[in-house]
């Protein structure tokens, strides 16, 4: 198979694409893959570092308010469609995949106009603007949350899950907790607001640190590199059962050792949580488009697989209360873990690949 794939801007669009590519290469080592992104997005660093052929186009997203910049956006879109057509003609893909972000809008649209089989993947419960636009032109649409189906043409939609889930489902423990000075045999809660950290989660956690002393569990608090030095200055007399780290390079490797996660409700995070069956306390970011993280979180809350705390309700007391409740009750955590696994698709990457093979015949 010759696969051209595009998606960028955030890790939520990039990591499912990388997981799909990894699974394709396992099944077909001779498969040819080309990734198209922008030079400004995270994909510009992440994709080449993964050893994947990478090309860029110049494009930008629409401003949500009236702005003269949107005229430039239209011009760049039309220009990037022509650039994408040239890339497609040169690479000659069997199928073109978009995983979200405005960069894939031009690439997948160009492929559809050239009558090349096309597939888009929507990771969130509420569809992004680019995927809504592309849904009118593509052959098939993969979703991760049943709620997203209502936003697309019904006949094109298939429930595939997130390819990232398959990538982490079989990860084995690596004794990472012991390397950090924690007890691998003790229940552990991971508090993590994302790679850059989350200010409100960090503030509530710093205030709650004293409450964790002498608990029958331990805490791994990952602040995000941007916030680490400031937080270290605020911490006095850190309890012995708490470890504070700025960042963990390969976060999935530690997840099999975690008893409970406190964090955001991004699509990639939820794919990892459901793949491994980890109970979670979700604090959705209120700053994302259409508040989609809240809707993501609610999909797990309604099946009793997670607890949700809204950011405007988050404080030291409620954070401590919910962590205490989950970490003190092994039976509850086991029930939540089973429910979480039912929400995931452990062979999600294979599900997507089957769809690609079907439309590219």
Please check whether residue 119 is in contact with residue 96, taking contact to mean a CB–CB distance below 8 angstroms.
Answer: yes
Six-digit token string for 129: 């603007």
The alpha carbon of 304 is separated from its chain's Cα centroid by a whole number of angstroms, namely 21
Beta carbons of 129 and 101 less than 8 angstroms apart:
no
Same fold yes or no, 1-161+346-358 and 167-341? yes
The answer to whether the CB of 228 falls within 8 A of the CB of 246 is yes
Write out the two tokens for 351.
């599900």
- Weakest mean pLDDT among 29-43, 68-82, 110-124: 68-82
How deeply is 180 buried, as exposed, middle or buried, from its count of CB atoms within 10 A (0-12, 13-18, 19+)? middle
Alpha helices in the chain (DSSP H): 11-27, 43-49, 69-91, 102-113, 129-134, 163-169, 176-179, 199-208, 225-234, 267-276, 292-301, 316-327, 330-343, 348-360
Q: What is the average per-residue pLDDT within 209-229? A: 94
User: pLDDT value at position 226?
Assistant: 87
Given this model, what pLDDT does residue 333 score? 97
Class for domain 1-161+346-358, per CATH? alpha beta
Taking the C-alpha atoms of residue 67 and residue 70, their distance in angstroms, rounded to an integer, is 6
> Which residues are documented as binding site?
10-12, 124, 195, 248, 293
Q: Which residue has the tokens 């608090």?
A: 221
Binding site for UDP-N-acetyl-alpha-D-glucosamine, residues?
Answer: 10-12, 124, 195, 248, 293
pLDDT digits (tens, 9 = 90+) for 163-175: 999 999 888 888 8
Every domain of the chain and the residues it spans: 1-161+346-358, 167-341
239-251 burial, b if ≥16 CB within 10 A, otherwise e?
eebbbbeeebeeb
pTM (2 d.p.): 0.89
The pLDDT of residue 8 is 86
The mean pLDDT of 286-302, rounded to a whole number, is 93
Q: What integer is the mean pLDDT of 192-202?
A: 89
Give the whole-angstrom CA distance, residue 133 versus residue 47. Answer: 25
Alpha carbons within 13 angstroms on the beta-carbon side of residue 262 total 30
Classify domain 167-341 by CATH architecture: 3-Layer(aba) Sandwich (3.40)
Spatial separation of the C-alpha atoms in residues 110 and 64, rounded to whole Å: 24
Identify how many contiguous H helices and E strands the chain contains and give both numbers. Answer: 14, 13
pLDDT band at 71 (very low <50, low <70, confident <90, very high): low
């Amino acid at each position: 198979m010759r696969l051209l794939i595009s998606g960028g801007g955030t890790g939520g669009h990039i990591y499912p694409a990388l997981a799909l590519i990894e699974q394709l290469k396992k099944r077909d080592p001779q498969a040819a893959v080309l990734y198209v992104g922008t030079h400004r997005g995270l994909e510009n660093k992440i994709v080449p570092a993964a050893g994947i052929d990478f090309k860029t186009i110049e494009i930008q997203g629409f401003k949500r308010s009236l702005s003269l910049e949107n005229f430039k956006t239209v011009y760049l879109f039309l220009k990037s469609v022509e650039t994408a057509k040239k890339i497609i003609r040169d690479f000659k893909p069997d199928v073109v995949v978009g995983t979200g972000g405005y960069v894939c809008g031009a690439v997948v649209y160009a492929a559809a106009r050239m009558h090349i089989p096309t597939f888009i993947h929507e990771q969130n419960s509420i569809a992004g603007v680019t995927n809504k636009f592309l849904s009118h032109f593509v052959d098939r649409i993969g979703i991760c949350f049943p709620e997203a189906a209502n936003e697309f043409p019904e006949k094109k939609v298939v429930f595939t899950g997130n390819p990232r889930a398959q990538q982490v489902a079989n990860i084995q423990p690596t004794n990472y907790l012991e390397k950090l000075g924690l007890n691998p045999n003790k229940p552990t809660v991971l508090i993590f607001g994302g790679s850059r950290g989350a200010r409100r989660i960090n503030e509530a956690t710093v205030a709650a640190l004293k409450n964790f002393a002498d608990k029958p569990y331990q805490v791994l608090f990952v602040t995000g590199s941007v916030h680490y030095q400031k937080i270290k200055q605020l911490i006095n007399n850190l309890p012995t059962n708490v470890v504070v780290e700025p960042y963990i390079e390969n976060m999935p490797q530690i997840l099999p050792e975690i008893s409970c996660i406190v964090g955001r409700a991004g699509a990639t995070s939820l794919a990892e949580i459901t793949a491994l069956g980890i109970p979670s306390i979700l604090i959705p970011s209120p700053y994302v488009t259409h508040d989609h993280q809240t809707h993501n979180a609610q999909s797990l809350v309604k099946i009793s697989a997670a607890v949700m705390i809204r950011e405007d309700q988050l404080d030291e007391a409620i954070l401590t209360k919910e962590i205490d409740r989950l970490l003190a009750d092994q039976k509850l955590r086991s029930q939540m873990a089973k429910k979480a696994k039912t929400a995931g698709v452990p062979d999600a990457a294979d599900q997507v690949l089957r769809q690609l093979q079907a439309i590219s015949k």
